[in-house]
Amino acid sequence: MIDVYLYSGFLGSGKTSLLLHTIAQLKAAGKKPAVLMNEFGELPIDSDTVTESGDVPLKELLSGCICCTGSEKTEAQLQALLEDYDDIDVILIETTGAAHPVEALDAVYSPFFADRLQVKGIVTVADALRFVHREELSPRIHALLLEQIRHAHVIALNKSDLVTDSQLATISMELANLNPSAPIVQTVQGKLDFSFIEKTLSQEKAAQQPIISGKHLPLSSKVISFSRPVQQEEVEEWTKSLPDTVYRMKGYIPIVGVKNPMLFQYAYGMVNWMPEYVKMPERLVMIGEGIGEIEWKD
């Protein structure tokens, strides 16, 4: 049987960071992990990062509607993964931060895989800073964030470096109230020991709840293009002018004097730049509510 772990969590909370950390640990332990990613928009940015980490089999879903995981598509990708690779030990499924975790379980519990997959459970990454300010989210998005926490079997309280110790204590208490059974581990950059996840989930009975749909949330995504290289400061100034309903941005931006477009990440007001060694498409994906009018002023 192949063990299956689901990684859930709000947009930009640190799921990919946790995923990469998990892959490294599994490989170090001689295991062969495979990844199923549920990307938003049309740019497979996270999967590029995973592929860079080596020879990890990967299937991605580039779905049109970012708030639906599309369990039939997940099922088809799982099937393809199992057909293409017969030596996988562990499958890690990263759901888009705009999806309800139980929707992804639906696909995994398909009778088609019953004799091959063993669902271990859901690890939810909670973004400490986002959680502190969760009341600012619109009611449905707020509800999704809470659902992701309620369904977790393990909670990684990530970005713990961005809040104070007393905030961390308060958040931990609030998370425990929402989900009394899941252990809460404070993390930075998703560095959670996989053996802890494995051990905790081996004692759990994986979730079998019916599907509670997170479908048709008021979220949308758009692609922003750049026709010329820009200054990093210009982009950072622009991000400060954006409404709070821009939840996430990821993509590659051409920067004056830098050879390749740089990887740009934005989550809850925080900006992150990384150099790229290959030339990636100069585009940015934005996710949020009411973002239709937002443009980059060239």
Which of 70, 190 has the CB closer to ligand GTP? 190
Which of 121, 190 has the CB closer to ligand GTP? 190
Which of 48, 118 has the CB closer to ligand GTP? 48
Residue 110 Cβ vs ligand GTP, minimum distance, rounded to whole Å: 24
Residue 175 Cβ vs ligand GTP, minimum distance, rounded to whole Å: 16
Please give the single-letter amino acid code of residue 267.
A
Point out which residues bind ligand GTP (CB under 6 A). 9, 11-17, 46, 97, 158-159, 161-162, 188-190, 248, 250, 265, 267, 272
Which of 51, 110 has the CB closer to ligand GTP? 51
Helices marked H in the chain? 15-28, 45-52, 71-84, 101-108, 128-132, 139-150, 165-178, 194-202, 232-240
Residue 191 Cβ vs ligand GTP, minimum distance, rounded to whole Å: 8
Residue 115 Cβ vs ligand GTP, minimum distance, rounded to whole Å: 31
Spell out the residues 6+ positions from residue 60 whose beta carbon is closer than 8 angstroms to its own: 36, 37, 38, 39, 44, 47, 77
- Separation CA 226–CA 53 (nearest Å): 28
Residue 258 Cβ vs ligand GTP, minimum distance, rounded to whole Å: 18
- Separation CA 119–CA 296 (nearest Å): 43
Which of 113, 221 has the CB closer to ligand GTP? 221
- For residue 195, what are its two tokens? 């053996």
- Separation CA 224–CA 171 (nearest Å): 34
What 8-state DSSP symbol labels residue 74? H
- Separation CA 30–CA 230 (nearest Å): 44
